[in-house]
Structure 1
Amino acid sequence: TDMASVRKLILDILLELVDEDLKTFQFYLSRMPCDGFPHIPKSRVHGADRLCTVELLVVTYDYDGAVTVTVDILERMKLKLWAETLRKNYHEGKACLKLKKVDFQEKLKSTLKEKFQTIYEGNADEGDTVYLNKIYTELHVIEGAWGSFSEEHEVRQQRSNYVQAEETSIKASDIFKPKPNQDKRIRTVLTQGIPGVGKTVCAQKFTLSWAEGNENQDITLLFPLPFRELNPIIGEKDYSLMQLLHQFFPDIKPLEMLGTGCKALFIFDGLDETLLPLNFKHNKVLRDEKELAPLDVLITNLITGDLLGNSLIWITSRPTAASRIPRKHIHQWTEVRGFANERREEYFKKSLRDDNLAIRVINHVKSSRSLYIMCQIPVFCWITVTVMKKMLRNNVTGAIPSTLTEMYAYLLLCQTDRMVEGHYPIESNNVVLKLAELAFRQLEKGKLIFYEADLKECGMDVKEATIYSGVCTEVFMMEGRRRREVFSFVHLTIQEFLAAVYAHHSYMHRKDNVLLGYLKRVSTRWLPKSVFGFHKTAVEKASESPDGHWDLFLRFLLGLSLKSNKELLGRLLHLEAEADEDVARTIEFIKEKIKEEPEAKLNLFHCLSELKEESLVQEVQSFVSSGRLAKMNKQKWLYVYCLSRLNRCNLTENCCEVLASALSSTSSHLTELDLSDNSLKDSGVKLLCVGFGSPHCKLKSLRFVTHVSNLLETPKIGDCCEALAVALSAESTQLKELDLSANDLREAGLKGLCMGLCSHNCKLETVRLNQCKLRENCCADLAKVLSSGTSHLKTLDLSNNSLKDAGITLLTVGLRSPQCRLERLRSVHTEIMILTV
């Protein structure tokens, strides 16, 4: 019933053959052993003994084919008794194995379903879990990621990912499925992504869907083996693969099913967390799943395919660690990009379970560029929900967080409140500062995972840390198996925020600038100090880091300088107020720093946002409003951050012409553009459309929402939309999201727009036409778009329009078309999930 049994069955038959019969058997092997099976070269067969002949059969034809070939040759040699004996014994064993396999698989599925059906959001308290299927929101996964080694800070990587021009999306459940024209088998997949972007949840959802019998049922066995859980048993003793699996699945036997040729999948989550050396070059080759070997040898042989070559391997990793697996062993690279725009809203609705509350949160997040971009990362969405749910439901006094620093400060307050409610005998100030010091020290070392020795450096022991972990789990968590506790913060940004708290507190209370080296701190001990000097040191430290590893730390540190944030954290840290002139000097210094090397200073714009300093944005808007945009020259660096925020700028026709020219420029990097609440009129829109259709335009998201005055002149609305349709039909267009909500489009405007939507060049996936005064007749044009076969539309918002039953009936014609790709339709006040078969 396994490879060893098949070898024995065939060997028993060959031992019955006399030498002459063995030579005849080998002659057939070297000529034409069986229809559909290749011959074995005569040089390899000639002179081989019976045992070697069996090995040749199994290695060349696999165990099933080896039996088929042996039976066929025996029948041609007129040895029908031996052929029938082999066939009968093999099929009886196979039938018995099938029953065992079904029973074993059901036990494994039951175990995995129980383990993975719930999820800890952020690492919630034990018992405070949610069902994965209720909260899971589809993640944006792309295939063909090159798996390049990157040292950049994760948020920098996330931002650069956001502006990618071309990417091929793939469902996480389909990563092992080859394309229709692809013959090569996909055995090993590596999925990379920044921390908190959803890699682990993606793997958990895959596992749960298999265990529930919904997807990938061609896989017989599935074994999740997270690297973090493998760490504690490294060097403990040598294991065979079977013993290792018994270690993780003690209630499921016999695991010997693996040797029977069944299709197994091993999921190794968290490559960046492994303590294994992964010595692919020098580890010995291992082919027997029962042979004892060090853990590193087992894992590397599984990945290379030397051990259980018919199994599948899925590895997840941060980009910084992806290169630890040699490229030749990876058949497909994929990347998790977090949430696409519409998925962020879906997550908030699922997580909050209150539509009114969800809409308030979504609208607030969209009002802040920094918050909205960060919400591409699922962990930050969870942080936003944690904070705003408490504030909005409990009517917490104070302004709703609009910056990253405010959001994380409120998160810290939420978690320390949990500690107080738990009646733990601790001083909250001491707790926060211990965690903050730990965060800073480990950030300096570049460490995301730490151990007992690291805790002791900050005056914490394991017992104390466990108490904090049990109550304050969303900020700090502990994981481990048996011998060694492993500690880490839930997400790098939380570690960076606490590190900034420590640096800020150290300076304000002891005038100790921890950002300087020890010798420099001693040598400047008696020199005059100022908050501006402290900030200047931080700005220069971040600027000198080529990979942005201090970017977010700097944002948090400067954000903590605001009086509002000091008051917010006052009861925890007793922060002293800084002089307004110090903050003003810091702002002016940052502005001058930006002008020195504008192309490399995007993070400093975010720093100004944390300080709630919007003068540069207003400066750009005034340039645009005055028509002087073309004269900016060296100030083109403002495009990336500021130029996208042109809502309520009273743009004139001349402004539109200059803006179109900027979009057509080869140096333009703009991927988002918000022109909401501008009375652009017909001529202005036509001028802008020239820029939208340019081969150099990189726009992927465009908003024309208006609540102040109508965007388009109603009498010429058809002309405007036709101009927009021409831009959407351009061969080079990259636009994927278009929001025309609250514009008086009516039937004439929609008809013009649909001309572009039907174009095979149009790449729009999301179109929002909320409150556009559309009537039932418009639905016929939309139905044609949906059934055209060229439309890429996945999300369509038609809410707050007078479509009536007749309109929905017309729309249904398009929805029923096999060419329709729509996944989400919002009509009236209801969101419909389109289920595809």
Structure 2
Amino acid sequence: RNHRLYTSSLFTIKSVLLVNTTLWFSLPFQFFFRFVKHNSIQRKEGHCCNCSFIYLSENIQRCQTKLKSYLQIKTQNLFQGTKEAGSSISLNKIYTELYITQGGSGDERKIDLNDIVKPLAEEESRPQRVLTKGIAGIGKTVAVQKFTHDWATGAANQNIQFIFPFTFRDLNSIKDEPRSLKDLITDNFEEVNDLERSDYNSSSVLFIFDGLDESKFPLDFENNKGCRNITQTATVDALLTNLIQGNLLHKASIWITTRPAAASKIPVEFNRVTEVRGFNDEQKEEYSQKKFGDKAQKIISHLQSKLFRSLYIMCHIPMFCWIVATVLESLLANTQENKLPRTVTEMYMHFLIIQTQRKREKRYQKEETDKDLIMKLGKLAFEQLQKGNLIFSKEDLQDCKIDLEQAAVYSGVCTQVIRKEHGLYRQDCYSFIHLTVQEFLAALYVLETFTESRDNLLASSRGVRVQTKAKRSVVSLHESAVDLTLNSYQGRWDLFLRFLFGLSQDKNQELLQKIGFTPSQSQSNMETISYIHKKIKKLLYTDKSINLFYCLNELGDQSLVEQVQKYQSSGDVSKISPSHWSALAFVLLVSDENLDVFDLKDYDRSDAVLERLVPVLKAFSYCITRLSLMCCSDWASLLHSNSITNKRTVVLADVGTGAQGVPPRVKLDLILNNVQTNVVLCTFLRLRDCQLSERSCEDLASALSSQSSSLKDLDLSNNDLQDSGVKLLFSGLRSPHCRLETLRSGDTRLFRIININM
């Protein structure tokens, strides 16, 4: 026991036994492990072979082994598209690492999937409640599948004895009758039927709840009755809230995934917030290589070319990447490059055609035309989109006259875009293979309904102006759609709008003929384009204006973009309008240039453009500004935003100098951006010539001493900090959490105090 390698040798032995799934240890070894545990040999969880030093009863080991075997089989294959035979592929063969970041605390860092519930180097214990956010199709569910599979196969996280992965989609199908947490677990995982109440309390347990955004539970944290016993019966909603709050199995860990808009459903504070960002450029190539082998390079080269840049950007979404690759794999061999899809709408149009052609190859008897079935699917897509539903029931299908069993036999179209799944109690539920497919079919249904009957299905939406039926043209539909989108929450109708505009174009109308649609009369886009230009000019909410530029791209209008590029080439940007600044943001975002350094002074009018260029500032890693007082609040908001967690360097040098109508050397008081609440997201911050106040030093000290501070380089040159400010700042520098490596300051008092204390 006195040997220096004593403890690590024991962990090695334990690791070997675990990897080989030994069901029992020899009796002396069991007692020895118990002895070590009670004598408190200290070891940080997550190190030393990734296994906990804990005695496991034979019953726990037996249940654990059976659960692992079940989950290993359940998670070994990944279904791409639908779950019909032949659509699955080995998870380990196709899985591509996702870019996941830890955020929400002001300190962004990349985090490995298998470390998502482990303590970081500076943390004493693992996070008990973890939230992972990400947009639809970004890979949250696949990440959960991979995490579970790695645990089940013994590849990672063996310090966890039991993992119970649930989906809110499955939980929704449970009838609302009281049950216990133990019953809820064993109903879904019968492999642990033999676990006793004491086994749950003594084991390390992780509950995973995937898809909070799909939850139909009220999650009433305030009014649900408390529940502390896993055999006590309660509603499923009450079980969930008590488990998340830590009343039930208070030592258990909880991992929840969700789309960002639904994160607020849970008011409980999370110990860790992460975000799935999807694929970076290297991962896009890796995925294509795994999926298409020799064809991968041709597909990637096509997407990286200037004409298809916007499509390549969207490929950070794994599901979109799959759809694009599926289409290009089919088209590249037989289609000239100038006829390949260049817009998102064209890509989805070809995807729909490919599914229809596959149906024809099966030579099934035609019970209904392709158009009839697609319109039924479109009606379902639109009505459920209006309700905010991604999941729907058999009754929802029947309301749209869709017989899925018949459709599965007679048309490949339906089964290729709708997923059929079974819930916990074998209740069938359905969804489109991805939200974007639902949005595409909804747009097609709305446009075709208007073309055939002049009925504007968007008329019932709030904020939408509607003309009388006799006066309606497709322009009125377009304007209604723009109004609906601009009034919607968190971009809910953004892609629908792009699809609607794209489907109105002659090229896509010609493609629709291939699946039985009659092309509409060709009309000029000028009125629609003019309407969008007016909206862009008035818009201050930048993300919405960027989406309108994507819509102009679908309409084939590049006029604003071309004017901005002309200004850039001439070097004269002093006379461009607000709409042109938004166009500049769009140009920079879709350019193939490395988004590394962005210097606002190159564009002369920092005050006028900052708000419209916020999306660009989010994308660049190094930002240089020269601002006046008018812009300080904008920068405060920007620094406070978790959406710019990739910012590494921010330069606010010479704030307020030389701006017309603004006094020189305007004070920048950092209380404006609340840096004391752990939101300094950059690692390099220059505050040269900012005439910092004493309160600013207090906030800086608070930020430097924050456990989540990421600031490593701070420039305070040419600021008269005064004695009180220097002392406040020094208190932050002394903190053990301070990560600062370089401090620039011309104030000798600061360095004198540092030298005295050293």
Task: Provide the C-alpha distance between the structure 1 equivalents of 2:110 and 2:298, rounded to a whole number of angstroms.
Answer: 28
1:555 and 1:610 in contact (8 A); partners too: yes
Partner of 1:286: 227
Unpaired runs of 5+ in structure 2? Answer: 1-33, 40-53, 594-598, 628-634, 639-643, 649-681, 687-711, 715-740, 742-758
Partner of 1:626: 570
Structure-2 change in CA distance of 1:247 and 1:470 (3 Å): farther
Matched, 1:493 2:436: yes
1:375 corresponds, among 312, 315, 336, to: 315
1:420 corresponds, among 360, 364, 373, to: 360
Aligned residue runs from structure 1 range 737-776, under 5 A: none
Structure-2 change in CA distance of 1:628 and 1:660 (3 Å): closer
Question: What letter matches 1:513 in structure 2?
Answer: N
- The structural deviation recorded for 1:210 is 0.7
Aligned residue runs from structure 1 range 263-282, under 5 A: 263-282=204-223
Question: What letter matches 2:94 in structure 1?
Answer: I
Matched, 1:641 2:582: no
- The structural deviation recorded for 1:177 is 1.8
- Show CA shifts across 1:492-521 (max 9, x none): 221111111011111222222222239999
Partner of 1:605: 549
SS in 2 for 1:569: helix
Structure-2 change in CA distance of 1:211 and 1:366 (3 Å): farther
- The structural deviation recorded for 1:333 is 1.8
Task: Provide the C-alpha distance between the structure 1 equivalents of 2:146 and 2:604, rounded to a whole number of angstroms.
Answer: 46
1:266 and 1:314 in contact (8 A); partners too: yes
Partner of 1:431: 373
Partner of 2:156: 215
- Show CA shifts across 1:454-499 (max 9, x none): 2233222454466589764442112233453222222222111111
SS in 1 for 2:537: helix
Task: Provide the C-alpha distance between the structure 1 equivalents of 2:75 and 2:100, rounded to a whole number of angstroms.
Answer: 21
Unpaired runs of 5+ in structure 1? Answer: 1-63, 70-93, 147-164, 649-655, 674-688, 703-728, 734-759, 763-789, 791-837
- The structural deviation recorded for 1:692 is 6.8
Structure-2 change in CA distance of 1:573 and 1:694 (3 Å): same
TM-score where L is the length of structure 1: 0.62
1:232 and 1:480 in contact (8 A); partners too: no
2:350 corresponds, among 406, 410, 429, to: 410
Partner of 2:85: 126
2:132 and 2:273 in contact (8 A); partners too: yes
Partner of 1:104: 63
1:627 and 1:658 in contact (8 A); partners too: no
Aligned residue runs from structure 1 range 463-482, under 5 A: 463-464=405-406, 472-481=414-423, 482=425
Aligned residue runs from structure 1 range 662-673, under 5 A: 669=613
Task: Provide the C-alpha distance between the structure 1 equivalents of 2:80 and 2:123, rounded to a whole number of angstroms.
Answer: 38
Structure-2 change in CA distance of 1:569 and 1:258 (3 Å): farther
Aligned residue runs from structure 1 range 85-164, under 5 A: 98-145=57-104
2:464 and 2:484 in contact (8 A); partners too: no
- Show CA shifts across 1:132-190 (max 9, x none): 111111112222326xxxxxxxxxxxxxxxxxx97322122112222333235411212
**Stretch deviating more after TM superposition (240-249 or 462-471):** 462-471
Structure-2 change in CA distance of 1:107 and 1:446 (3 Å): closer
- Show CA shifts across 1:740-771 (max 9, x none): xxxxxxxxxxxxxxxxxxxx879xxxxxxxxx
Count of paired positions: 580
Partner of 1:182: 123
2:378 and 2:445 in contact (8 A); partners too: yes
- The structural deviation recorded for 1:393 is 4.1
Partner of 1:578: 521
SS in 2 for 1:631: coil
Task: Provide the C-alpha distance between the structure 1 equivalents of 2:585 and 2:392, rounded to a whole number of angstroms.
Answer: 37
Question: What letter matches 1:496 in structure 2?
Answer: E
- Show CA shifts across 1:593-625 (max 9, x none): 323436552222111111222222111111112
Task: Provide the C-alpha distance between the structure 2 equivalents of 1:646 and 1:585, rounded to a whole number of angstroms.
Answer: 28
Aligned residue runs from structure 1 range 185-334, under 5 A: 185-235=126-176, 237-256=177-196, 258-259=199-200, 261-328=202-269, 330-334=270-274
- Show CA shifts across 1:790-812 (max 9, x none): 9xxxxxxxxxxxxxxxxxxxxxx
- The structural deviation recorded for 1:534 is 2.7
**Stretch deviating more after TM superposition (180-189 or 617-626):** 180-189
Task: Provide the C-alpha distance between the structure 1 equivalents of 2:415 and 2:551, rounded to a whole number of angstroms.
Answer: 29
SS in 2 for 1:327: coil
- Show CA shifts across 1:627-675 (max 9, x none): 2212225332222112456789xxxxxxx998465789855737769xx
- The structural deviation recorded for 1:542 is 2.4
2:218 and 2:237 in contact (8 A); partners too: yes
Matched, 1:555 2:494: no
1:390 and 1:396 in contact (8 A); partners too: no
SS in 1 for 2:255: strand
1:125 and 1:470 in contact (8 A); partners too: no
SS in 1 for 2:420: strand
2:461 and 2:484 in contact (8 A); partners too: no
Matched, 1:361 2:297: no
2:601 and 2:625 in contact (8 A); partners too: no
- Show CA shifts across 1:80-128 (max 9, x none): xxxxxxxxxxxxxx98x63333333222211111110111113342332
Partner of 2:756: none
1:450 and 1:488 in contact (8 A); partners too: yes
Question: What letter matches 2:315 in structure 1?
Answer: C
TM-score where L is the length of structure 2: 0.69
Question: What letter matches 2:510 in structure 1?
Answer: E
Task: Provide the C-alpha distance between the structure 1 equivalents of 2:222 and 2:456, rounded to a whole number of angstroms.
Answer: 45
Question: What letter matches 1:440 in structure 2?
Answer: F
- Show CA shifts across 1:231-262 (max 9, x none): 22232x43333332222123454232733501
1:508 and 1:575 in contact (8 A); partners too: no
1:639 and 1:670 in contact (8 A); partners too: no
Task: Provide the C-alpha distance between the structure 1 equivalents of 2:491 and 2:247, rounded to a whole number of angstroms.
Answer: 40
SS in 2 for 1:408: helix
1:193 and 1:319 in contact (8 A); partners too: yes
1:531 and 1:578 in contact (8 A); partners too: no
Structure-2 change in CA distance of 1:645 and 1:279 (3 Å): closer
- The structural deviation recorded for 1:443 is 1.8
- The structural deviation recorded for 1:585 is 2.8
Structure-2 change in CA distance of 1:318 and 1:520 (3 Å): closer
1:614 corresponds, among 544, 558, 581, to: 558
Structure with bigger RCO (C-alpha 8 Å, 6+ apart)? 2
Task: Provide the C-alpha distance between the structure 2 equivalents of 1:108 and 1:264, rounded to a whole number of angstroms.
Answer: 13
CA RMSD of aligned residues (A): 3.9
- The structural deviation recorded for 1:230 is 1.9
Task: Provide the C-alpha distance between the structure 2 equivalents of 1:520 and 1:332, rounded to a whole number of angstroms.
Answer: 38
- The structural deviation recorded for 1:213 is 0.9
Question: What letter matches 2:297 in structure 1?
Answer: A
- The structural deviation recorded for 1:274 is 2.3
2:472 corresponds, among 519, 526, 529, to: 529
Question: What letter matches 1:214 in structure 2?
Answer: A
Structure-2 change in CA distance of 1:657 and 1:542 (3 Å): closer
- The structural deviation recorded for 1:352 is 1.5
Q: Larger C-alpha radius of gyration, 1 or 2?
A: 1
